[in-house]
Structure 1
Amino acid sequence: MKNIINKLLVNHSLIYKLFLYIATIILVVYLFPKSGQFKYEFQKGKPWEYENYYAPFDFAIQKTPEEIAIEKEQITKLSKQFFKYDEQIVVQVKDAINSKIEDALYNSELTETKKIELRDLALQITNDIYEFGYLESSVDIKPEIDLVTLRKGNKSQEIDANKLFKASQILSFINSKIGNEPFTQEENIVLNIIYEGLKPNVAFDTDFTEMVLQENLSKISYTKGLVSENERIIFKGDIVEGEKLIILNSVKSEFESQVWSKSNYNWIVSGYTILVSLAFLMLLLFLRKYRIEIFENNTKITFIFFNIILIVLLITLIVKYDAKYIYIAPIVILPLVLKAFFDARLGLFTHVLTVLLLGFIVPNSFEFIFLQIIAGIVTILTISELYKRANLFISVIQITFVYFVAYFAFSIIQEGNAQNLDWEKLVYFTINGGATLFVLPLIYVFEKLFSLVSDESLKELSNTNSKLLRELAEKAPGTFQHSLQVANLAETCANEIQANSMLVRTGALYHDIGKMMNPMYFTENQSTNVNPHNELTPKDSALIIINHIIAGVELAKKNRLPDRIIDFIRTHHGTTLVYYFYKREEELIGNKPDKKYFQYPGPIPFSKETAILMMCDSVEAASKSIKEPTAQAFDNLVEKIVNKQMEDGQFMNADITFKELQIIKKVLKKKLKNIYHLRIEYPE
């Protein structure tokens, strides 16, 4: 039992990876759609490349979205309009008009008979107008409709739309009923009373009209025929277009709408599990072979898997809501995030694997996969320094443009012309580009959640006004100046060989912070001729020099510097010797001393950036010892130091080529000559 526990403890990292691997596979397979899959891929305008295809079962031919849209538009255009008739307004208007006419004619010189005639006429006009109703002026009746439905209480009747009075018709109608002009004074009074007293009593019944419209729309049939089992659908070599395309899309939808049955559920899940397992296994093998430092870090592997799951979840949710919105999802955030924290190659490799997995979820998978892989490649190639916001904006514009161009190409291939472009998709691509800008706050969140460091954080750390660098400048000003010079040299070298210049610059600024513990034991900080090493043995002096590595790592951890920066502190001397004190010890004892007392603990550099820092640090420090600076002296110095480091195997674990080493040598020679160039002697 004890042995089992010990084995578990020893292999806990591998066990965690296995658990993460299995859990991720289960989650991704769970997110996959629980429906059948059509086993053939086809494109509009392309030949059918498979054997003759016959209907596997009876199914209905589905109408195209365009046909359904036209049908809906026609139903909406011809749908009935309903109006509400308010009888209460009619009663109020009649009473008010009658009362005002009686008051107006009370002192009139007209005979009683004439007064009664005018009152009866006003009542008749009012009754005529309100027989079908007076329509509110804000309501428009569709010109395509002849009949409208008028609702009086619980009763409804269809009437000619022209029978509803409008405000523009009222005055002329009253005039025609009163008689021939010129009107008498009393007739004008009655006319004005009627005109001013009338109120609209018919309003558009929005809710009822909408309810009837939706009911009619719900009755639309989405099919237009039937294909019988074993009926031929398409011959091999036929062009997929017209009715053949419609029928193929119908049978594909029929397959995809079928929920997995119990009989084939386990088999299909097994198939998905194998494919997803292969995809994640390829990712782990890639990390194991080419990114061993990431593979050995469980937090980083968890972060990569988490991002893949996040993208799969996002696309799954969009497809479940409405698959037409899949191009709104900013998939290229995945390679952007991975490039910000790791490197471009890992970002692109992970992006391609993720897009291949998404092909199981999305419709038109070939088009989706092609567009997203191209967009991912453009993302990786165009964004070099994410911390520069202008770079991100320019890259987003380029990505969006590539989406436009690729979609345009697909469209003209499928449609045979450029007239049937889906402009709505171009809007989705634009939204996609805007959403990609969200990567900056997302990177900040990931930094806090997973304790990682991005170029944006490196930019902040490289600020020489930061607390730790200010402290270095105060306690060890010579070391601070040395670090600045090394940072400038390293940044230039990194730019020349396409390494991460921001990372190596930041690492160079912090690589010697351990010297703050004993600044006077390092020559660059000795402002007097007193050298404390004169009172120490070579072994003790070497120990103090070597300890600046250990002190630097402790100080960096105390100030919560990222591991990527601490790596520069650990590796900038590799496993080289403190050669000066090694030779002094050799002179004292007259024999070769034990190297373990004079050797830095390592590890040796394991990346281009840490290798660059080792070369620049050694060359910059050694250049101070040249008494007569000449071009030849600098050339010899650089060659001697870098070649010695290569002979000692300091770059064996660094992903750096001989060509890149030669480029770095040239840069260092040129920079040293620029730094130490001779000036003309000015007259006193």
Structure 2
Amino acid sequence: MKNLFALFTKKQSLIYKVFLFVISTFLIIYLLPKGGQFKYNFQKGKPWQYENLYAPFSFTIKKEAEAIEKEKEIILANAIPYFDYDATVLKQSESDFKGLLDEVFVDSLYKTSKESAVRLGLSITKNLYKNGVIDGVYPYSEDKIVYLKKGNEIEEIVYSQLFKKEDIPKRIIANLPENASEKLQDLLEKSLFRTIKPNVTLNTKLTEAAKESEIKAINPNRGIIEKGGRIIAKGEVVEGDKFQILNSLKLEYQSQVWSASNYYWLLIGYSLLVSLVFLMLFLFLKKYRPDIFHNNTKVTFIFFNIFLMVFLTTIVVKLDAKYVYVVPICILPLILKAFFDPRVGLFVHVLTILLLGFVVPNSFEYMFLQFIAGIVTILTVSELYKRANLFISVGQITLVYIIGYFAFFLIQEGNIQSMELERFGYFILCGLATLFAHPLIYFYEKIFGLVSDVSLLELSDTNSKLLKELSNKAPGTFHHSLNVANLAEAAANEIGANAMLIRVGALYHDIGKMHNPTYFTENQVNSINLHNDLDPKESAQIIIGHVIKGIEIARKNNLPDRVIDFIRTHHGTSLVYYFYKKEKELNENVNSDDFRYPGPVPFSKETAILMMADSVEAASKSLKEPTSTKIDAFVEKIIDGQMEQGQFLNSNITFKEIETIKKVLKKKLNNIYHLRVEYPE
């Protein structure tokens, strides 16, 4: 059990990567469509590139989406509405009419008797309610057939047969006897207007249900292809009916109606392909980016972003596949480039697009556009901390999408008449979504503890709290740090290292000297040297201690680990030579480890450059009457000495790059001291 625990502790990083590999594979497979994959790729308007294709099984030809939409429109236009007829309203209206006439009828005013007027009014009322009085005006033509529901019976009538209240005067005139007076007509009109109540209302629920029923009854198929029948011949252009038949066959392959055996084989196939993609990523990181591979946080960050892109795309495709280009896939290489480098960004982008090929429709077109857009992202986005650069790059990416889609449309359709301009709007939305990279980078920095160029730019501000404190407590050290930053940045630019990172590292590399600033010569304002009263070993420990103190101050102020690395490594494992020599003069048996910095030695080009620039800048202050020859000689001596001590063995820097750095440092120091090449007398 103890041995097992020890093995687990020793291999925990590898075990975590295996777990991450398995869980990522499982999650991606869960998102992928669970249906058969059609093994042929075809495009509308392009020749069939395979051998003659015969139907592997009988299948139905699906109607085009436009045809089904037209059928729906016809059904909705011709749908017969249902109206409810309330028979109780008639009796109530008759009763109200009788009561009203009893109140207002005066025999002396009319030639007709009250009984005759009542009979006439009731007759008109019954006539009005024969098919019913409608409760409003509906957008139907007069000859539109409608269904009138009376109890459990349904009558078919014409919409014009339903009576409207505004037609009462016409109906009264039609039913009055020829000798009827105008006063009687006026009395009946006013009375009926008050007593006639609508008894026919539109049954919306029943009408909509009938529409839905008819729409559901639409046959999505328009024919059958029998097994063995030829679908398309080699070289034949995929268009019209052929294109629709091939799409129908593809849908059958992707149908969810699979047996359990098929389903399990499908999962095995997905598992192998997704595992291959992630295996390639691990191998790439292990061979070309070992620093990322051995950092589980960074590996997790990369896998999380791959899953996020697949998840977002899957959700959008399920909602409506036409919005698939709104998903800002190019944000992936953009963010990875900001935290790592362009090569990692492009490689991960390519692998992610390969996975998305299983999810999206028209996978060839989608993958082509995303590959090109990803390459443009890597080539155009530089110095992300400059906001204008991001806007310019997003504009270029959007333009590439639009040009690529336009080209595909021309190839597939052969004209521009049927082009949907809204598709270009999706690309513009995608570009706008890509601008979300800046806040997303900030979010990732807080969650995963990573550092981007945007954060480095903020840290390089000399008005920041920590650098202000350094300039107040140790002004000499602050000035030295600025000089080192300028030297190191120039050298980094010359060999293609991360100039922004090295500048920030140089600004903070000596913050530990704030603890005892007067023990360092650059901060001594008079000739008094506090080390004269100390033992050489004590002095050496104070000098060495500025590295440990610097790490403590950096952690207290939440400086990123990438910056702390410069504090930790800028002296490597070198000796505090002055005090070591002084101790040796007093005591022959000196333990050199007491005068040696704890290390580690630089493990990147940037930390190696800082060591060289720091040593050279500090030593240049001790030069008396500096000349170009003296500067060249002492730069060579210092850097060659560091190489002999093995300080650069882990920093992945070449001899050629070291020689280039030497030339830059010599040139910069000559400029600082305003020296020219010495001419012979």
Query: Shorter-chain TM-score category?
Result: 0.7 to 0.9
- Which residue is 1:68 aligned to? 68
Contact 2:111 2:181 in 1 (8 A): no
- Which residue is 1:568 aligned to? 566
Distance 1:662 1:219, change over 3 A: farther
SS at match of 2:109: coil
Does residue 1:204 correspond to 2:202, yes or no?
Answer: yes
- Which residue is 2:553 aligned to? 555
- Which residue is 1:378 aligned to? 376
Distance 1:176 1:382, change over 3 A: farther
Distance 1:618 1:162, change over 3 A: farther
- Which residue is 1:273 aligned to? 271
Q: After TM superposition, give the deviation of residue 132 of structure 1 in Å.
A: 2.6
Tell me how far apart the structure 1 counterparts of residues 24 and 4 of structure 2 sit (CA, whole Å). 26
Q: After TM superposition, give the deviation of residue 669 of structure 1 in Å.
A: 7.1
- Which residue is 1:123 aligned to? 122
Aligned ranges 1:628-643 → 2 under 5 Å? none
* Higher deviation after alignment, 29-38 or 130-139: 130-139
Contact 2:141 2:159 in 1 (8 A): no
1:8-30 Cα shifts (integer Å, max 9, x gaps):
43333223323332333344334
Q: TM-score, normalised by structure 2?
A: 0.86
Q: After TM superposition, give the deviation of residue 306 of structure 1 in Å.
A: 2.5
Paired residue type of 2:506: A
* Higher deviation after alignment, 519-528 or 387-396: 387-396
Q: After TM superposition, give the deviation of residue 616 of structure 1 in Å.
A: 4.4
Tell me how far apart the structure 2 counterparts of residues 384 and 496 of structure 1 sit (CA, whole Å). 17
- Which residue is 2:11 aligned to? 11
Q: After TM superposition, give the deviation of residue 385 of structure 1 in Å.
A: 4.1
Paired residue type of 2:418: N
Aligned ranges 1:157-236 → 2 under 5 Å? 157-166=155-164, 169-174=167-172, 184-195=182-193, 198-236=196-234
Contact 2:29 2:267 in 1 (8 A): yes
- Which residue is 1:282 aligned to? 280
Paired residue type of 1:610: T
1:92-113 Cα shifts (integer Å, max 9, x gaps):
4444444434433326422353
SS at match of 1:278: helix
- Which residue is 1:682 aligned to? none
- Which residue is 1:24 aligned to? 24
Aligned ranges 1:28-43 → 2 under 5 Å? 28-43=28-43
Within the candidate set 610, 613, 623, 1:613 is matched to 610
Q: After TM superposition, give the deviation of residue 651 of structure 1 in Å.
A: 5.3
- Which residue is 2:411 aligned to? 413
Contact 2:80 2:146 in 1 (8 A): yes
1:27-69 Cα shifts (integer Å, max 9, x gaps):
4334433221111111111111111111111111111112211
Q: After TM superposition, give the deviation of residue 599 of structure 1 in Å.
A: 4.8
SS at match of 1:307: helix
Within the candidate set 519, 524, 527, 2:525 is matched to 527
Q: After TM superposition, give the deviation of residue 211 of structure 1 in Å.
A: 0.9
Distance 1:105 1:529, change over 3 A: same
Contact 2:132 2:199 in 1 (8 A): yes
Paired residue type of 2:132: G
Q: After TM superposition, give the deviation of residue 159 of structure 1 in Å.
A: 1.1
SS at match of 1:419: coil
Contact 1:549 1:570 in 2 (8 A): yes
Does residue 1:334 correspond to 2:357, yes or no?
Answer: no
* Higher deviation after alignment, 645-654 or 553-562: 645-654
SS at match of 1:303: helix
SS at match of 1:257: coil
* Higher deviation after alignment, 152-161 or 196-205: 196-205
Q: After TM superposition, give the deviation of residue 600 of structure 1 in Å.
A: 3.9
Q: TM-score, normalised by structure 1?
A: 0.85
Q: What's the C-alpha RMSD, in Å, of the aligned pairs?
A: 3.9
1:122-169 Cα shifts (integer Å, max 9, x gaps):
4344434333334344532268x7211122333322211222344664
Structure 2 runs not aligned, ≥5 long: 676-681
Contact 1:34 1:260 in 2 (8 A): no
Tell me how far apart the structure 2 counterparts of residues 676 and 552 of structure 1 sit (CA, whole Å). 30
1:178-233 Cα shifts (integer Å, max 9, x gaps):
58999734433433443455454433322221111111111111111111111111
1:535-584 Cα shifts (integer Å, max 9, x gaps):
34555544432332232223323444321111121233345554555666
SS at match of 2:155: strand
Q: After TM superposition, give the deviation of residue 350 of structure 1 in Å.
A: 0.9
* Higher deviation after alignment, 640-649 or 324-333: 640-649
Tell me how far apart the structure 2 counterparts of residues 44 and 358 of structure 1 sit (CA, whole Å). 21
Aligned ranges 1:285-434 → 2 under 5 Å? 285-388=283-386, 391-434=389-432
Tell me how far apart the structure 2 counterparts of residues 28 and 321 of structure 1 sit (CA, whole Å). 18
SS at match of 2:562: helix
Contact 1:118 1:187 in 2 (8 A): no
Number of equivalent positions: 675
Paired residue type of 1:613: L
Distance 1:676 1:318, change over 3 A: same
Structure 1 runs not aligned, ≥5 long: 679-684
